[in-house]
Chains A and B, each alone.
Chain A
Amino acid sequence: MKNNIFKLLILSIIVLMNSCKLDYLPESAMSEDVYYKNTKEIGSGIIACYNGLMDVVKEEWRFSELRSDNAHLESTSSSDANNEELRRLDHMTATAQDKFINDFCWVPAYKVIARCNTLLAVIDNVSDPDTKAKYKSELLFIRSMMYFNLTRLFGDVWLVTEPITGEDALKLTKSSVDVIYAKIIEDLEIAASPAGKLPYPTFTTTSGVTKQPTAEIGRATIYAAKALLAKVYLTRKNYASAKANLMPIVQDYGTAGLIAYNLVFATSNEMNKEIIFAVRFKAGGLGIGSPFVNYFAARNSSATIVVGNGMGYNTPTEGITEKLGNVTTWSYTSGGTPIDPISTVRNLTDKRNAVSVSFFNNKVWWTAKYWESPTAVLILNDAETDWPVIRYADVLLMYAEVLNDGTDNDQSSARTYVNAIRTRAGLPNLDVAATSSKATMHTAILDERRLELAFENQRFYDMLREGSQYVVSTLNTQFANENFYKSYTQGRAPQPMTAANLLLPIPLNMTKLY
């Protein structure tokens, strides 16, 4: 009896000890350890990288358009903490503590970079060499776009090109602007080359090339890579290389590539020929809708402009509304201080005027470029509108700039391309005499870019390309002269800025970690 018990006991303990294991991987979530093992799985990771771009462009206007001479904060009086931060961005006095810079710019960009790095580290698990090259090109394209934005906004930043741990990150130091650009160019040259295996857009007229399957529309094409690379080169004033990358697109599409201006942004016409690359959004309560309609609609417009009210963000400045062809009358206090706009006279000759801006309630201008009819938006911040990153019009104007500013020094050809843009807008051709010199032509292109690409987050970078002195004088003139800025009270009015204010401060979280 006693012996039997003893045997049973020993047996059961042995069974027990063997049945205990400690390897329990997550059950309700895939662990990174088990995924990204084949082409399909890595492919799904790349979709997630595109998804990451949404968070970046949703809020990009805060750091680019708002800080340019195209947009300002809607209200001078609000002391709401969010508006205070937006005001600091508008006035070029943002601080390192400001949450928007961290939460809406820095973190989303580095999240996308980390996603790309995770996948680049396992890209060899893609078996087919062409698919592998294509996937790699897409990842390099997306990552380069992030670094291009970061270095233009912050200057020196941390260059991370592989997955890193928290400890690794603490040891890393910032890289110079030159090093960042060298890496961007190196990566984009791979993506934009034939060996990068990116497909041609479905609209290409070039024969004998691989076209993008219609199911993949929205992913990077070779033209997207070339156009982005051209913009990088243009920013670095390397006109020859910029031209080399722009020329194939211009030759392929010609000036006929332009469609009616109002149709470029229509949700019924998404991914039209003019969209070289866009970050796409989709309405319908899927969590991937765009917020721009609600963001930019006039504040307190309730459902008259869009369901769920407008935030009044990215309000057009008097400068841009005037350039587009509007004359606005303001009311003044007895002492002559401006109070509010009260009426406007609109000249809609420039077809871009009606598309780009609108005047609500005889009171306030708002950005209408991404507007859909109130009935089209059913849920707050869940509209269909895509965000254009590079348009063909941008390519044409860049090409004009390259021809004018580069060794070609060819104002006549440059004028042809600018005129194509103006014709589409319903405007007469450029006056030849007034644009016969390199400098005057350059200014004409810059002005055209401001109107054509207004509220597309291009203006601030265009201003930066003109040099810091240009930005400082343009913004200070605006601060001093525009009624809106003059209507500030209680010490909130903008102070003259200097070149030191051009870069955004690196978020405090990066410099004060424990």
Chain B
Amino acid sequence: MKNKKLIKVVTILLSTMLLFNLNLFAQNIGVSGTVTAENGDPLTGVSVVVKGTSNGVVTDLIGNYSLKNVPTNGTLVFTYIGFVSREVAINSQKTINIVLKEDVLLLDELVVVGYGVQKKSHLTGSIAKVNTSGMGDVPVSRLDQALQGKVAGLNVQNTSSEAGVAPTIRIRGMGSISASTSPLIVVDGYPISGGLEMVNSSDVESIEILKDAASAAIYGSRAASGVILITTKSGAADKPSYNIKFSTGIKQTYKRVDRYSTQEYTDLRRSQKVAYDAYMASIASSSKLNINNDLAAYSVGEKFGFRDWQSLGLQTATISNIQANVSDGNEKYKYYLSGNYDFDEGIMINSQYNKFNMRAKIDAKLSKYIEVGISLTPQYTKRQRPSNSSGGWYNNLIRTGDWMPVYHTPESIAFITGQKPTFAKKAGDYAMGADFSGLNYTLLDGTVVTNATPWNTSDNSPINIADKTTFIEENYSLNTNSYVNINFTKDLTFRTSNGFYMAYMGQDYFIKSDGLKPGDLANGTYRNDLLIDLLSENTLTYNKNLGKHSFNLLAGFTSNLTKHRTAAIAGTFGNDYVSTFNAATAITQKDANGNILTQTFSESIAMVSYLARINYSYADKYLLSASWRADGSSKFGPNNRYGYFPSVSVGWRITEEGFMKNIIWIDRLKLRGSYGVTGNNNIANYAAYNTLSLVNYPLGTGTGTVTPGFINTNPTLGNRSLTWEQTNEINAGLDFSFFDGRLNGTVDYYNSETKALLLQQDIPSITGSLNYWNNIGKVRNQGIEIEVDTYNIRKKDFTWQTAFNIAANRNKLLSLGGTQTFNLQLGERNEGYAAIVGQPAIQYYQFKVLGIYKTQADAVASGISGAAGGSLQVWDNGDKILDQNDRVVSGSPFPDFTWGITNNFKYKSFDLSFLIQGSQGGKIMNGDINYVETRRYVKKYNYASAWLCDGVQGDGVTPVSSGGINWMWTDYVLEDASYAALREVTFGFTLKSKYAKKIGMKSLRAYISGQNLFFLTAKGLRLVNPEARTKPTNAYNSPLVDGYSRGGFPLQRTISFGLNVSL
């Protein structure tokens, strides 16, 4: 029974396929021929239609077509996306072979806009279509990393080199202050939080960036920071194809922190001691420089060997990727299936990112009226992170002197127990600084030091910590979207699109006993996080052409519900072998600071929106687009739930005017102007409400019984009148194309003002609270973006194309609700930041270094409390007290401009492309200085020239590492973050299709690609990565603080080899 059914199914399938083939090859009456490209490659899928009829076919795999019932005096129209259409008169010919030219102007290229597509030539907003060709060759495991430097005004910053970590993405500067400034990411019409991670480079059909508010306004409240639209590939009718892509490469640190060997350091200390002691003797002082601990450290190295801790903790990593997809279809059904596997090792040991995902898209045309489709994207990722404190761990690595052994040997144990008989470690155990404390050392040169402590730390060595730590994050997600299109008439279409996005994250953190310090209990944290996002979008579109008037109308309704559930459990364990909580000996409810560690939590957020848009063009010359959206969000108080986001934009295609027809060198010229409003509700949930927490109090006899109480303990007071943050933006642009498409470009100017900023505003503490979310203040972003593409050489065998983009944004704080200066001392060292009205919203606010106190007497004479010889001398307003009044604005983290230039060369079968990308201006606060320069062995920047005493002043500008004002409060730690990087280089070879066919392939391409091959930074930069930004503590969550970098992992250089095969 079962077998019969199966046979039936197979028979139907086979006969369908046969029929389908017969359809293509059996009709040989009439006209036939081959369509090829200029280079001789056959073109598959070219539409060949008898003009004025519906009689048409598409070309097959080898570019052949054949048509019957063709009138001998008719005309054939050949059209193919990306190529110039051609019309050929038949004139009784039975064979018509034609060559199609590539359309360099891409006049009719379709651009995806919110809730629809539009011809590029008819765009009125500022929308950048990203050139995705070659994007898959870049050896990165995330698509967003491949966007760096590609689009003016799109700033992608790899703030961490950790494998699989999302970069920071900004479109046109920082619009909001407290609310999130990440752009909305929409994949196939579906806004999802996991956005760019879920898309594989070879699945991408197109990427569009909606930059101006008018283009983004159709996304309303979530679009204030711009929108990135991604369209993935679908099956194409009559175009069966299989693609396999494989690449593998290695990653290495570009540059490590430069440091002394113990040998060099000890030599330096010895020479310093000679100079110091000599000076002291000259002034009849008995003071001597004590370098016993340094000598002891050297002695440990002499006895037990030296090793470089950076080499121990960093590795040459591999990155591999394999992608395969297959697509096929006919007039009724189309499908696209793809699979992807990424393996991305980090350059730190124990750091790894694995990604596996699939994508299935099925589209079906059920009848003349109804089309349906579904797409499914399951994904699994696993990330192993290097250690709990990702910043601190690398710092520990560079702080550890090369004399420090990793493990004890029988010799080291014998040496220590010889003096400390109770020492309990044995050979093979991890060594730590404190093991060598308080011992007597005899150096090989005979020097003897007694009771010396090479390194007084109670912390375990970084390798020990890394070996004992497991930190694994697993993500399972599924994005599902289905649609039904109903075409009531040719012009009127209803589309309902419904889907859900589900993401589950499980995170295991475990550190074995004696993990960070001897005596630590084994402890761990397990966290999971479930996000379910339900979305329904329903739109009605109507297209009409009435003579010269052409309309496109859109009306829609969307509804969105997001549910979020998390659970976390923390505790300590009795052994190191089982890290699941059945084996926990105690559960930790709160940490020492009262932060809840063990909990479950849930929240729901809903949004309802109504939208409408009209696109109108008159004679393809004058363009108008207007849109309107209303968003209601559950995040705000009942009184202010709805926000309204209108926009209008106009365009004038000057080249369509009669008077332009004679100017032949101008292919295309279009002026655009737009005004739009977007919003932002991306703040903490439930900010409108006061919520209650459990607080206890002991009552009753004896030591009392815990009695529960409930009260609002949140330092943030609820605000019922909270509402949308609103950005109003004006955009003016010019699109041009000259000299037969050799010079193309776009220039945009924008001015956006964000008002009613969602700001966590301080309120008088007499309310019992410290702050509340309020709509206050105003920020302006103003900028210019230029993109220029040129075809420098366009020959049959050789082409050279250049794409250049540059963007400059100026950020200005226009109002902060009354106060002119908002001064913050935040962060792990209470560094200074300021938000000052009339200036960029974030600036560093520091003491200005004038030099150092060259002598102790100078320091005392300064009259400033705490000043010491060799310490930094900073500007003081004369009152001899260093306080707020002496701090000055010393720079801002915002760059002056960012730029990128890509060159593509093609010679016959070879291609070469490279991207140079950079950021100019902008300062970074170097938090490493506090950790690196003040520690022994890692003072190579300037230690040799540091002040030592009145008589040994060094170079007279380098301070001593202790005493005087905290370095972190001064501009001594400010660095120029400018850089230029050779970001990507790809050299490829594509086998000619005629040869490929001989080995049974449609195409074959092999390439070598490199990333971060060369990095040029500002002179004297003391950081190993100018892009790194870290937020080591919660204090950095303040929106008015940015640009702090500590423990940034080194930049990584990647070189990979790849192979793309199409069958």
Contacts and interface: CB of A to CB of B under 8 A. Distances in A.
Given A27-B602, A41-B710, A48-B713, 18 more contacts: A13-B538, A17-B559, A30-B710, A31-B691, A32-B692, A44-B709, A47-B695, A47-B709, A50-B697, A97-B884, A106-B765, A111-B768, A113-B768, A115-B711, A166-B774, A282-B703, A282-B706, A288-B706
Given A166-B763, A166-B767, A509-B765, A214 B696 contact: no
B769 interface: yes
Contact of B559 (A16, A164, A513): A16
Interface in A493-513: 507, 509-510, 512-513
Of listed A29, A267, A282, A491, residue having the most chain B CB within 10 A: A29
Contacts of A26: 603, 685-686, 689, 691
Contact of B766 (A22, A29, A169, A214): A169
A514 B821 CA distance: 8
B707 interface: yes
Interface of A: 1-2, 5-6, 9, 12-13, 16-17, 19-33, 35, 41, 44-52, 54, 79, 97, 102, 106-107, 110-111, 113-115, 117-118, 158, 160, 164-166, 168-170, 172, 214-219, 267, 270-271, 280-283, 286-288, 380, 384, 490-492, 507, 509-510, 512-514
B709 A288 contact: no
Interface stretch (B313-321, B385-393, B604-612): B604-612
A280 B699 contact: yes
A123 to B, nearest CB: 15
B995 interface: no
B711 A218 contact: no
A166 B536 CA distance: 38
A17 B697 contact: no
B255 interface: no
Nearest to B604: A24
| Those 5 A-B pairs whose CB atoms lie nearest each other, nearest first | A114-B768, A514-B819, A47-B709, A48-B711, A166-B763
A372 B764 CA distance: 39
A513 B702 contact: no
B718 interface: yes
B798 interface: no
A326 to B, nearest CB: 32
B691 A281 contact: no
A32 B632 contact: no
Given A28-B602, A215-B699, A166 B768 contact: no
Contact of A16 (B536, B589, B601, B816): B536
Interface of B: 369-370, 486, 488, 494, 496, 536, 538, 557, 559, 589-590, 592, 594, 600-608, 632-634, 638, 641, 685-686, 689-693, 695-713, 717-719, 761-770, 772, 774, 816-819, 822, 865-866, 883-884
A52 B764 CA distance: 18
A249 B713 CA distance: 36
Contact of B590 (A28, A287, A512): A287
B816 to A, nearest CB: 5
11 contacts: A1-B369, A6-B488, A13-B557, A19-B559, A26-B603, A30-B692, A45-B709, A217-B704, A282-B704, A490-B866, A492-B865
B689 A22 contact: no
Contacts of A170: 763-764
Nearest to B868: A490
B819 A513 contact: yes
Contacts of A29: 686, 691-693
Nearest to B702: A270
B757 to A, nearest CB: 12
Given A27-B602, A30-B692, A20 B703 contact: no
A23 B690 contact: no
Contacts of B707: 47
Contacts of A45: 709-711
Contact of B538 (A16, A25, A115, A218): A16
B488 A2 contact: yes
B564 to A, nearest CB: 9
A30 B761 CA distance: 24
Contacts of B607: 22
Given A23-B634, A27-B604, A513 B764 contact: yes
B767 A164 contact: yes
Given A16-B536, A22-B641, A32-B690, A218 B698 contact: yes
Contacts of A52: 695, 711
B962 to A, nearest CB: 11
Contact of A48 (B600, B710, B884): B710
Nearest to B559: A20
Nearest to B693: A29
Given A13-B538, A513-B819, A169 B764 contact: yes
Contacts of B884: 97
Nearest to B769: A114
A50 B709 contact: yes
Contacts of B589: 287
A7 B126 CA distance: 40
Contacts of B369: 1-2, 5
Contacts of B702: 270
Contact of B817 (A118, A165, A514): A514
B697 A280 contact: yes
A510 B765 contact: yes
A490 B604 CA distance: 59
A33 B607 CA distance: 22
A97 B824 CA distance: 12
Contacts of B690: 31-33
A514 B703 contact: no
A281 B698 contact: yes
B603 A28 contact: yes
B860 to A, nearest CB: 9
A47 B689 contact: no
Contacts of B703: 267, 270, 282-283, 384
A491 B698 CA distance: 46
A217 B765 contact: no
Nearest to A27: B602
A265 B707 CA distance: 22
Nearest to B776: A514
A287 B706 CA distance: 11
Contacts of A111: 768
Nearest to A508: B884
A276 to B, nearest CB: 16
Contact of A20 (B606, B704, B819, B822): B606
B608 to A, nearest CB: 5
A51 B689 contact: no
Given A118-B711, A218-B704, A28 B698 contact: no
A48 B709 contact: yes
Contact of A17 (B557, B606, B704, B817): B557
B767 A114 contact: yes
Contacts of A50: 697, 699, 709
B536, B590, B695, most chain A CB atoms within 10 A: B695
B762 A514 contact: yes
B694 to A, nearest CB: 9
B638 A31 contact: no
Nearest to B710: A44
A271 to B, nearest CB: 7
Max chain A C-beta neighbours (<10 A), residue from B589, B590, B698, B719: B698
Contact of B761 (A2, A20, A166): A166
A101 B703 CA distance: 31
Contacts of B817: 514
A166 B705 contact: no
B498 to A, nearest CB: 9
Contacts of A6: 488
A111 B764 CA distance: 11
Nearest to A286: B706
A48 B708 CA distance: 8
A286 B588 CA distance: 11
Contacts of B594: 287
Nearest to A50: B697
B763 A513 contact: yes
